[in-house]
Amino acid sequence: MRSNEDLYATAAALMADGKGILAADESDGTAGKRLAMVGLPNEPEHRQGFRELLFTAPGIEEFISGVIMYDSSMRNTTDDGIPFPDVLTARGMIPGIKVDRGLRPFQNFEDEQVTQGLDDLAERLKEYYALGARFTKWRAAYTISTVTPTPACMEANAVMLARYAALAQEAGLVPMVEPEVIFAGAHSIERAEEVTMHAVQTLFTKLREYRVDPKGVILKTSMVLAGDAHTEQSTPEQVANATVRMLHMSVPYDIAGIVFLSGGQAPKRATENLNAIGKLGKQVWPISSSFSRALEEPFLTEWQGKEENTAMAQKALLYRAKMNGLAQQGKYNPKRDVQAKKSSVKTGSQD
C-alpha cells in the first residue's frame, strides 16, 4: 500500500481553483452514438481521433486538471504513437479511469440497477496504475419515481462503492465515488433533494464502515434540480441553495473535494447552475465540476467530424472549460457567454 500522502496530493491537484475534470469516459458504444451525431461510424480510429482532439486542444490544461478515460482510451495512443496517459501527464493533467463495468438489473427490484465490476478490480487497478492512471471513477445511478429508489438499492450500491474505494486507495489511486440521481423525470426539486441526500448519506455511512480514508476521496454528485419533465424548472438560485444544503447535511467535512456532473443539462445551464453554487462563497470542501456532455457538446457542434473544423472545435472546448472555471469561482457572466445559442448536437447525458 502506497502512502496516503500521495493520494492527498493527487486529490488536491484535481481540485485546483479554476479547473474542472473532463469526463471522457463513455463506453465504446456511447462514444459511437456521439460520433454518429456528426456523421462518423463507430470505428476504433474515429473514437481514437475524437479523444485525441479533446486531449490535445491547445491551452486546455489551463482549465482542466484531470481527464477520466475509458479502458480503450487508457490503452490508446495519438497518431504519433504517444500513449494518451503520457500526453495528459506531460501537459499537467492527471489521467483517470472509469473502473466499474456498468449497470445491471437489481434482482427482485423492478426498474432499479446495481453497478458491477468488483470481481477482478484489484488486478485491474494495478494495471491502470502502471499505465499512468492516478485516480478512478465508479458510478451508481438512481431513477426517481413514486417508488424508487428504494433503500435496498441505495444500500447495495453504497456497499459496492465503498469496496471499490478501499481497493482503489490500496492501489494508490484516488477514488471518485459517483451516486448519480438521474435528471430525467417529472420529480420536483424537493423530491430530488430528498433522494440525493439519502443516496449521499448512505454512501458515506458505508465508506466509514469500510474504513476508506475520506481525505483521499472525491465525491462526484448530481446537482439538486427538478426533473427535466417537471412542470416548473429550477432556477440557478434554487439549484444552488438546495444543492449546498444537501451537501452540508450529507458530506463529511474532511473529504478531498466535491465535483458536480452535468447529468443531461445543456452546457450553458450546467455552467449557470455551477456559477450560482460558486456565488454562495467558499465551502468547507473544494468544489468544482466533472462534466462530459456539457464540455463535449460545444466541441461536437463545431467539429461535425470534419478535419477542417478542428481548430474551431478545440477553441469551443477551451471556451466552455474556461466558462466552467469561472463558474466554479462564482465569476461567470451568462450575458457575456458567446456559446449561449442552443446546440444543434445532442450527445446524451452520461457523465
Strands, E, within the chain: which ranges?
20-24, 64-69, 94-98, 103-105, 113-115, 135-142, 174-181, 218-222, 257-261, 287-291
Rounded Cα distance, 42 and 280, in Å: 43
Q: Which of 19, 137, 206, 220 is catalytic?
A: 220
Rounded Cα distance, 135 and 8, in Å: 11
Could you give phi then psi for residue 49, rounded to 5 degrees?
A: -65, -40
Q: What is the pLDDT of residue 2?
A: 65
Could you give phi then psi for residue 96, rounded to 5 degrees?
A: -130, 170
Contact 232, 187 (CB under 8 A): no
Per-residue pLDDT of the chain (351 residues; tens, 9 = 90+): 567 999 999 999 999 999 999 999 999 888 888 898 888 999 999 999 999 999 999 999 999 999 999 999 999 999 999 999 999 999 999 999 999 999 999 999 999 999 999 999 999 999 999 999 999 999 999 999 999 999 999 999 999 999 999 999 999 999 999 999 999 999 999 999 999 999 999 999 999 999 999 999 999 999 999 999 999 999 999 999 999 999 999 999 999 999 999 999 999 999 999 999 999 999 999 999 999 989 999 999 999 999 999 999 999 999 999 999 999 999 999 989 987 554 444 434 444
DSSP secondary structure, 312-344, as one string: HHHHHHHHHHHHHHHHHTT---GGG-TT-SPPS
Q: What is the pLDDT of residue 53?
A: 96
Q: Which of 112, 178, 193, 302 is catalytic?
A: 178
Contact 202, 154 (CB under 8 A): yes
Domain parsing of the chain, residue ranges: 4-336
Q: What is the pLDDT of residue 344?
A: 40
Strands 94-98 and 135-142: parallel
- Give catalytic status of residue 282 as yes or no: no
User: Is CATH 3.20.20.70 the right assignment for the domain spanning 4-336?
Assistant: yes
- Give catalytic status of residue 232 as yes or no: no
Q: What is the pLDDT of residue 338?
A: 87
Q: Which residues pair with 218 in a beta bridge?
A: 176, 257
Rounded Cα distance, 18 and 65, in Å: 9
Question: For the chain, how long is the longest CA-to-CA vector?
Answer: 54
- The x, y and z cell numbers of residue 124, run together, are 485491474
Contact 276, 35 (CB under 8 A): no
Q: Helix-strand-coil percent breakdown of the chain, rounded to 5?
A: 45, 15, 40
